[in-house]
């Protein structure tokens, strides 16, 4: 008997290329914002303290920590990393040709 793969509703949605691209962008935004929050808390800094360290406002830090924010720059991420005692590392990940599955390089 052949092994049938059960498709979930999420599988069906993610099979649509436009939906998948939008989903991946939203996921990346969520990952970045969550990492900023974790990094700030690990450094025992409030939003206001971090803002003072990088010469910006508390509302700007709040914006960076919001998963809807899409205006991250390498320079602001670098400032946040340094202020929290961390290094910023950026990775490029190649996509496979088939199925758009990610492969780390």
pLDDT digits (tens, 9 = 90+) for 42-81: 999 999 999 999 999 999 999 999 988 889 999 999 999 9
CA dihedral sign of residues 69, 71, 76, 81: positive
Coil, strand or helix: which one is 77?
A: helix
User: Is residue 20 predicted with pLDDT exceeding 90?
Assistant: no
Percent of the chain past pLDDT 90, that is, above it, reads 50
- Going by the DSSP 8-state scheme, the letter that residue 83 receives in this structure is H
The domains found in the chain, sorted by start residue, are 9-104 (1.10.260.40)
Considering the entire predicted model, what is its pTM? 0.69
Taking residue 22's Cβ as centre, other Cβ atoms within 10 Å add up to 11
What sections of 1-105 are H helices per DSSP? 9-14, 17-42, 47-53, 58-64, 74-83
């Amino acid at each position: 008997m052949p092994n049938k793969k059960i498709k979930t509703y999420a599988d069906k949605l993610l099979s649509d290329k436009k939906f998948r691209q939008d989903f991946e962008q939203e996921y990346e935004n969520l990952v970045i914002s969550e990492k900023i929050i974790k990094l700030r808390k690990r450094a025992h800094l409030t939003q206001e303290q971090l803002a003072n360290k990088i010469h910006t406002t508390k509302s700007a830090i709040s914006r960076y920590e919001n998963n809807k924010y899409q205006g991250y720059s390498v320079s602001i991420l670098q400032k946040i990393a340094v202020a929290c005692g961390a290094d910023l590392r950026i990775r490029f990940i190649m996509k496979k040709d088939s199925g758009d599955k990610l492969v780390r390089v």
